[in-house]
Chain A
Amino acid sequence: MAEPLLKVEHLSTVFSLRGKTPFARPVHLTAVNDVSFTLEAGETLGIVGESGCGKSTLGRSILRLIEPTDGKIVWQGRSLTDLSDADMRKARRDLSIIFQDPIASLDPRMTVGQIIAEPLKVAEPSLGRAARRERVEKVMEEVGLAPEMANRYPHEFSGGQAQRIGIARAIVTEPKLIVCDEPVSALDVSIQAQIVNLLKALKERMGLTLIFISHDLSVVRLVSDRILVLYLGRVVEIGPRRDVFRRPGHPYTKALLSAAPIPDPEVARTRERTVLEGDPPSPINPPSGCAFRTRCPIAQDVCASEPPPLIPVGEGHRAACLFAEDVVRTGEP
């Protein structure tokens, strides 16, 4: 049986914030809380959740751009978390990230060509200038950018074009895994589709594995094979895309789905909706037991005692709710 490409085991990232007064004890913000999942080569895992759920932190923790405080990351069978700084830098050749704000992720003082070439310089230092330039131009064409644009500066481009530059930079070293952190959220609607299609095409052509982080359920549904739902740093549901969307096992997932705007007036106005009350709790002071219970329509007393474990509700489909099976049963077919 093939070893999964990536195994994340009980990953946690806790931030220590300064207390309100100079002598107060530091406050702990658990951004990522005991997250575990596996990823097979060629899959796209969609990570969804709202602001503050820790999805961006999770993406960066997996790449060790933010150091996780606990847990293990097993990449291609070897531990990533134990690597030294030097070895980690070498490993980065196979790992890439695409950022949400395309223009902010590009150094305004470097030309596009230099920006795209940078990872290549690190990964293949023996490559000569001419060879490097050739690779950069090739990758620019693949993402739909004219190679003559290599001498230009990031601020001369539109958002969609800038994101293409970011994608070019991410694929220039022919990586195996790309973490896409809200890659289309900052773009115009008609451009989003262009970039999403580009990512899908590149994935097919290059055999990439993607972790696609987004708050937009429609986009996630379009690109992902499996879905992971986060709430306040914890995994509340994980499973194959069809199952999670059609038969969600967790009340939060159900609420998310029912809140997602549907561009179809008939469906939008007649569908059954669960509108959550109130605001998400603060990650500094999460509720005891199940973090979702303060807004959950089916919360019971028992939910306050312990965070619920992930209960299987289908093939490869699990939800962290004591009443997951009921949720699935009452869901829409």
Chain B
Amino acid sequence: MTLYADKRQALEDAFIDREEEAGLPRGKPRSLTRDAIRRFRSNKAAMAALVVLVFIVLAAIFGPYLIPFDYETPDWSAFTAPPSLASGHYFGTDQNGRDLLARCFYGTRVSLLVAIIATTVSVCVGVLYGAVSGFAGGVVDSAMMRFVDVMYALPYILFVILLMVMFGRDVFLLFAAIGLLEWLTMARIVRGQTLSLKEKEFVEAARAAGVSSFPIILRHIVPNLVGPVVIYATLTIPEIVITESFLSYLGFGVQEPLTSLGTLISEGTKAIGASDWLLLFPGAILVTLLLSFAFVGDGLRDAFDPKDR
């Protein structure tokens, strides 16, 4: 008869200390996140896009310190000057003599800031709302989701424009407005994920241990949402940048002399034919930014969606 009469016996029978045959996990503990990072790193397209993204972000942050011009001071000697290496205006200047490269730096900063803040708002609100709704289920869930449905039905742009008209053209209001509208889709996604997570056995195990609902949501549901949330957030950012660009293009959004990519593009389109560079450079930056986000988002999705596990 083999019973685990004492600890030593138990360990021997389970061969815990026979290192070479133990078959115990070795190396560093492999959390799911670490696995995902490893998978992401081996995805060349995604890594390349990440490098480009990081480069753009760093350029937006540190760029302005590297050039002598700023985004609002006109250079009286060069109005609507084409890009030239000699003059120091690498991207050229606009009709007011302002250096385009500097304006691009600042414009990218603003666009990115809007995107990040809006995404953060949408993630925080959306995740909490969706997780609570999905976990609660029943009538509460139905009610909460109907509210989301109604919000969805509202004409988005009209709503933003209304806000702008009522409260004036404040950049921060812009962030808030966009964020408060983006959380809807995040909430839906999170709620769907929660519904399936809720049925998993490890959630049942937590209930069997006596953990109450809210700690279950925070400790078990939310961490397991990381995958879809991160993926969706990276895919939302481009959407937000475009929305901001669009609003700025329409004339809402950031005020002069502060600028954003959208504003730059808007000004640039007016100058097509005469000074193409005013559109080309901000446009190229926007396109590159969006493509990079898309590739990174794709890479994240592949990394978090483990087909081999």
Q: Which A residues have a C-beta under 8 Å from some C-beta of B?
A: 60, 63, 65, 85, 88-90, 92-93, 95-97, 99, 101, 104-111, 118-119, 122-123, 141-146, 149, 151-153, 155-158, 161, 166, 169, 173, 194, 197-198, 200-202, 204
Contact = CB atoms under 8 A, between A and B. Distances in A.
Contacts of A145: 14, 16
Contacts of A161: 24
A239 B116 CA distance: 66
B211 A107 contact: no
Contacts of B29: 111, 151-153, 156
Nearest to B4: A201
Contacts of B207: 65
Given A105-B202, A107-B224, A158-B23, A119 B30 contact: no
B202 A197 contact: no
Contact of B209 (A119, A141, A202): A119
Interface string B216-229: 00011001101000
Top-5 shortest CB links A-B: A119-B209, A92-B210, A156-B25, A144-B14, A89-B210
Nearest to B306: A155
15 contacts: A65-B207, A89-B212, A93-B210, A97-B205, A97-B208, A109-B31, A109-B223, A110-B219, A122-B210, A142-B7, A144-B11, A149-B24, A153-B30, A153-B31, A156-B25
Contacts of B10: 141-144
Contacts of B309: 155
Given A141-B10, A153-B32, A157-B25, 20 more contacts: A85-B212, A89-B211, A92-B208, A99-B201, A99-B204, A105-B201, A106-B202, A109-B223, A110-B220, A141-B7, A141-B11, A144-B14, A146-B16, A153-B30, A158-B23, A169-B209, A173-B209, A194-B14, A197-B4, A200-B3
Nearest to A101: B201
Contacts of B7: 141-142
Contacts of B204: 60, 65, 97, 99, 105
Nearest to A114: B219
Contact of A107 (B17, B30, B220): B220
B225 to A, nearest CB: 10
A232 B23 CA distance: 42
A65 B4 contact: no
Contacts of B205: 97, 99, 105-106, 166, 169
A50 B138 CA distance: 31
A197 B208 contact: no
A104 B209 contact: no
A173 B209 CA distance: 9
B208 A65 contact: yes
A203 to B, nearest CB: 11
A149 B23 CA distance: 12
Contacts of B226: 109
A109 B32 contact: yes
Nearest to B197: A107
Nearest to B215: A122
Contacts of A155: 30, 32, 309
Contacts, number: 116
Interface string B227-270: 00000000000000000000000000000000000000000000
A118 B2 contact: no
A45 B2 CA distance: 22
Contacts of A85: 212
A156 B22 CA distance: 13
Nearest to B225: A109
Interface string B173-198: 00000000000000000000000000
A258 B24 CA distance: 40
A106 B31 CA distance: 13
A55 to B, nearest CB: 16
A144 B210 contact: no
B13 interface: yes
A108 B3 contact: no
A10 B204 CA distance: 25
Contacts of A157: 25
Nearest to B33: A109
Contacts of B208: 63, 65, 92, 95-97
B210 A107 contact: no
A104 B210 contact: no
A90 B25 contact: no
A227 B247 CA distance: 72
Contacts of B164: none
Nearest to A102: B201
B44 interface: no
A110 to B, nearest CB: 8
Most buried by A among B32, B201, B219, B220: B201
A108 B32 contact: yes
B206 interface: yes
B307 interface: no
Contacts of B224: 107-109
Nearest to B212: A89
A91 to B, nearest CB: 8
A174 to B, nearest CB: 13
Contacts of B210: 88-90, 92-93, 119, 122-123
Contacts of B25: 149, 152, 156-157
Contacts of B206: 107, 118
Nearest to B200: A104
Nearest to A90: B210
Contacts of A97: 204-205, 208
Interface in B23-60: 23-25, 29-32
Contacts of A151: 29
